[in-house]
Amino acid sequence: MIKVASYNMHKGVGADRRCNPERIVDVLREIDADIIALQEADRRFGTRERVIPLHLLDEQSDWKPVAVGRRIGSMGWHGNAILVRKSAEVVECDAIHLPALEPRGAVTADIRLAGSAIRVVGMHLDLSGLWRRRQAAAILAHLAHRNTPSPTLLMGDLNEWTAAAGCLRDFGRDFRFAATGPSFHARRPIGRLDRIMASTDLTIVDCGVHASPAARKASDHLPIWAILEPAR
């Protein structure tokens, strides 16, 4: 079994409007997932530097970033990043260009962890329903053209307020949704904007929203998590 998580870390800016990457790492340590998809992991303007300094991960965590960054100082691609255990092997990774009016992207990695292989996609979709559906189609097309099939996990902030329409219907044709619950806004969560979706060759054993006191302060989203195992 592996534990995964998705977290819109809001560029490290918490409820007190202070940027504090140490709090983000503290929350990640509380969750203790094997694979983590981060959104808003890089600053938006200028050189788009990573919010979490690499030394924090090196010295205070058991994770390493997957090398999907296209800018020297960035952790990810358009703010999307993937963290994996330092013991994991990253077989392949890439950035996915998404159609959008404003810069949007997704990231993907093939990971081998404790003898198991899994394909992970991290994403942060548009505020517009029309563009979300176009972006979902681009991600699904990218996966369909991969030469080697693999158990696949999609995670991220979908920005979808509806219960089963729009891009959720598109993803739902091939993926199962973890029933994690509402994660936005962190102080009073009512929206299920953050999602974990697994291919049918994976079983979702358990899942939830990480609503610790630290998580309620660290970002405007709460992290979500799931425990997965191969389907039998």
| pLDDT (0 to 100) of residue 96 | 94
Query: For the structural domain made of 2-230, what CATH number should be given?
Result: 3.60.10.10
Is 102 strand, coil or helix? coil
Residue 71 predicted with pLDDT over 80: no
Predicted local confidence at residue 55, as pLDDT: 92
**pTM of this structure:** 0.96
**What is the token pair recorded at 147?**
């030469």
Of the listed ranges 14-18, 98-102, 153-157, 168-172, the one predicted with least confidence: 98-102
- Tell me the C-alpha distance between 110 and 123, whole Å: 15
| pLDDT in the model for residue 20 | 97
Question: What pLDDT, on the 0 to 100 scale, is given for residue 43?
Answer: 86
Mean local confidence (pLDDT), 83-110: 93
Q: What is the pLDDT of residue 100?
A: 86
How many angstroms separate the CA atoms of 105 and 135, rounded? 9
DSSP-derived pairing of the beta strands 89-97 and 105-113: antiparallel
Q: What is the pLDDT of residue 46?
A: 60
How large is the average pLDDT for residues 95-117? 91
Provide the token pair at 230: 């191969």
Predicted local distance difference test score (pLDDT) of residue 69: 67
What are 200-226's pLDDT values in tens digits? 999 999 999 999 999 999 999 999 999
Q: Please list the alpha-helical segments (H only) found in the chain.
A: 21-31, 54-60, 129-144, 167-172, 213-218
**Residue 227: band (very low, low, confident or very high) from pLDDT cuts 50, 70, 90:** very high
Share of the chain above pLDDT 70, in %: 98
- Which sequence spans correspond to the domains of the chain? 2-230
Average pLDDT, the chain: 94
What are the pLDDT digits (tens) for 28-57? 999 999 999 999 999 876 667 899 999 999
